[in-house]
Chain A
Amino acid sequence: MAQIFHRSTNFLSRFSIFGSVFFLAILLWLFYDLEASPYTTQQTIAREQPVQFSHAHHVGAIGIDCRYCHTSVEKAAFAGIPPTKTCMNCHSQIWAQSPYLEPVRESFRTDKSLEWTRVNDLPNFVYFDHSIHVNKGVGCETCHGRVDQMPLMYQAASLQMKWCLECHRHPERYLRPKEEVFTMGWRPPVEQAVLGERLKREYHVRDRVVLESCSTCHR
Chain B
Amino acid sequence: MTGKVHRATIYLGAIALISACGCRQEMYDQPKYRPLQKSDFFADQRASRPLVEGTVARGTLASAPVPAAGAPSAEELRTTMPVPLTRELLARGRQRFEIFCTPCHDRTGGGGGMVVRRGYRPPPSLHIERLRDAPIGHFYDVITRGLGAMPDYAQQIPPEDRWAIAAYVRALQLSQRAALADVPEPERRSLKERK
Interface residues of chain A, those whose CB is within 8 Å of chain B, are 62-65, 67-68, 71, 77-78, 80-81, 83, 85-86, 88-90, 92-94, 111-113, 115, 124
Q: Given A78-B35, A112-B44, answer yes or no on A90-B115 (Cβ-Cβ < 8 Å).
A: yes
Chain B residues, Cβ within 8 Å of A63: 103, 114
Question: Closest A-chain residue to B34, C-beta based?
Answer: A78
Interface residues of chain B, those whose CB is within 8 Å of chain A, are 28, 35-36, 38, 44-46, 98-100, 103, 114-115, 118-121, 149, 151, 155-156
B114 near A81: Cβ-Cβ < 8 Å: no
B151 near A81: Cβ-Cβ < 8 Å: no
Chain B residues, Cβ within 8 Å of A67: 99
A65 near B99: Cβ-Cβ < 8 Å: yes
Count contacts between A and B, CB distance < 8 Å: 50
A83 near B103: Cβ-Cβ < 8 Å: no
B46 near A113: Cβ-Cβ < 8 Å: yes
Closest 8 CB pairs of A and B: A78-B35, A65-B99, A89-B151, A62-B114, A67-B99, A93-B120, A71-B156, A94-B119
A selection of 10 A-B contacts at a CB cut-off of 8 Å is A62-B118, A65-B99, A71-B155, A80-B35, A92-B151, A93-B120, A111-B44, A113-B46, A115-B38, A124-B28
Chain A residues, Cβ within 8 Å of B120: 90, 93-94
Q: Which of A77, A88, A94 contacts B118 (CB 8 A)?
A: A94
Question: Min CB distance, B86 to chain A, in Å?
Answer: 19
B36 near A85: Cβ-Cβ < 8 Å: no
Question: Min CB distance, B154 to chain A, in Å?
Answer: 10
Chain B residues, Cβ within 8 Å of A111: 44
CA distance A67 to B28 in the complex (A): 32
Chain A residues, Cβ within 8 Å of B35: 77-78, 80
CA distance A93 to B149 in the complex (A): 9
Question: Min CB distance, A199 to chain B, in Å?
Answer: 19
B118 near A64: Cβ-Cβ < 8 Å: no
Chain B residues, Cβ within 8 Å of A65: 98-100
Question: Min CB distance, A151 to chain B, in Å?
Answer: 18
B45 near A86: Cβ-Cβ < 8 Å: no
Q: Which of B44, B99, B149, B151 contacts A68 (CB 8 A)?
A: B99
Question: Closest B-chain residue to A80, C-beta based?
Answer: B35
Name the residue in A64, A115, A124 with the highest tally of chain B Cβ atoms < 10 Å from its Cβ. Answer: A64
CA distance A115 to B100 in the complex (A): 25
